[in-house]
Amino acid sequence: MITLLFCILMFAVFGKLAVLAFKAAWGITKIIVCFVLAPLILLAIVFSGFIYIALFLLLIGGIASLVAPKI
């Protein structure tokens, strides 16, 4: 009986730790994409000669950031 209780509590503790780790990894991924990948992709599009596409994507991102609810 104590072994069963131990297993249940162990899964509860490590399950919460797994959820916390997933949330932290997701947050770090969003930060990297927003501050590193997106500007690099836009610069690559501009330097390859597709300035109108990059401007259109930047305009969509600007409008989305103005309209999106603030957290």
Residue 18 inside a domain? The answer is no
> pLDDT digit string (tens) for 29-63?
888 888 888 889 888 988 998 888 888 888 888 88
Residue 68: give the domain boundaries: 25-71
> pLDDT digit string (tens) for 1-35?
888 888 888 888 888 888 888 888 888 888 888 88
Residue 35 inside a domain? The answer is yes
Report yes or no: 45 and 53 within 8 Å, Cβ to Cβ. yes
Residue 19 inside a domain? The answer is no
Report yes or no: 57 and 37 within 8 Å, Cβ to Cβ. no
Tokens encoding 68? 């999106």
Confidence of residue 71 (pLDDT cuts 50, 70, 90): low
The number of domains in the chain is 1
The per-residue DSSP string of 8-53 comes to HHHHHHHHHHHHHHHHHHHHHHHHHIIIIIHHHHHHHHHHTT-HHH
Residue 41 inside a domain? The answer is yes
Task: Quote the pTM value.
Answer: 0.57
Residue 56 inside a domain? The answer is yes
